[in-house]
Amino acid sequence: MEAAAAAAAPRPRATGGLTASTAGPHRACSSSWRPRQPRAASSFSSSGGGPADLGLLPRLRHSPSSAGRIAGGAPPPPVRARDSRAECAGPRSSAGHVGVNLEGENRALEMSSTVPKSSNIFWHDCPVGKTDRQNLLKQKGCVVWITGLSGSGKSTLACTLGRELHTRGKLAYVLDGDNLRHGLNKDLGFAAEDRAENIRRVGEVAKLFADAGLVCIASFISPYRRDRESCRALLSDGSFIEVFLNMSLELCEARDPKGLYKLARAGKIKGFTGIDDPYEAPLNCEIEIKEVDGVCPSPSDMATQVITYLEEKGFLHE
């Protein structure tokens, strides 16, 4: 009876070569254990179902030829080791990459990333391109980059411009500095390096919107000239339109719609642009909007000025 009960009991599962004691429901696991001796591999068929499939045999290190003999078949062909150097930067064939159409080894080298954190990546071209999307939308993708001091009217102009384009049947999207810091850039502060990363990310996103055929309206203080020029360099086809809201610090501080200048003057905000952090004005912007007699132009007037430029340059039609 006991032998029959023992035979009917489920076999214990080994973990890492250790076998737990299951002699009875009330017996504690013994601290002294002994690994089960593996059975001969030849006693199991290649169809599976033996203890090896249940994890009862320790994992064996064997050569490809021995693996074939264990399975009962002919030894498989030797596996050639891959060169890790070629994996990162060396020439490679497109045959090993599904969906990648490379024209020779030089093309592969051009498309392979050399950035250590993003090595071994390739650009994948799709049949529907920017021109196709622009023809569908009957407009040309571009980035309208609005820069200026806090309180100069950037967000107001961006939203007004987006509304005016919408009424004309043109697809636009606004990227606002404060809005993106609620999500995409919420991990960034206002130190110089964080400001640079903030603008870098926005530039890449804006480039995608322009590639989709949209008029992307980016509203950012973007105080450093170098960062803005880096974004311009992402769009080498002249579709980066820099709009400089050239409003004086006195005007912006008098308006102070968010109360930030007051906090900065009180020392409660550090590194505030125009107070204790510099703003580098554009040198060759496409559009410059100035105050008139110490007053900022109306949002509709500013939007009209930008739309006129977009029409003249052919961005609002095929």
Is 21 labeled as catalytic in the residue annotation? Answer: no
83-87, 274-278, 304-308, range with the lowest pLDDT? 83-87
Q: What is the mean pLDDT of residues 19-42?
A: 44
| 41 pLDDT above the threshold of 90 | no
Q: How far apart are CA 272 and CA 278, in angstroms?
A: 8
Task: Report the SS3 class of residue 18.
Answer: strand
Could you tell me the two tokens for 255?
A: 């308006």
> How much is the pLDDT for 98?
37
Q: Looking at domain 3-8+32-312, does it have CATH number 3.40.50.300?
A: yes
Q: Is the pLDDT confidence value at 68 over 80?
A: no
Residue percentage of the chain with pLDDT more than 70:
63
Q: Residue 237: its pLDDT value, please?
A: 86
Of these residues, 150, 152, 155, 222, which one is catalytic?
222
Q: Which residues have a Cβ under 8 Å from the Cβ of 221 and sit 6 or more positions away?
A: 147, 148, 149, 150, 154, 177, 273, 279
Q: How far apart are CA 74 and CA 66, in angstroms?
A: 10
CB 160 within 8 A of CB 302: yes
What is the spatial distance between Cα 138 and Cα 169, in angstroms, rounded to a whole number? 9
pLDDT tens for 178-229 read 899 999 999 999 888 999 999 999 999 999 999 999 999 999 999 999 999 9
The answer on pLDDT for 22 being more than 60 is: no
Give the torsion through C-alpha atoms of 75, 81, 87, 91, to 10 deg.
Answer: -90
What value does the mean pLDDT of the chain take? 76
In whole angstroms, give the CA distance from residue 134 to residue 54: 59
Is residue 106's pLDDT more than 90? Answer: no
Contact predicate 173/216, CB 8 Å: yes
Residue 198: what pLDDT? 94
Decide which of 65 and 249 is more confident: 249
Highest mean pLDDT among 90-94, 243-247, 314-318: 243-247
Tell me what pLDDT residue 261 has.
96
Domain ranges of the chain: 3-8+32-312
Which pLDDT band holds residue 25 (cuts at 50, 70, 90)?
very low
Helices 225-234 & 192-211 angle (0-180, nearest 10): 20
Q: Is the pLDDT of residue 177 over 70?
A: yes
Q: What is the pLDDT of residue 37?
A: 52
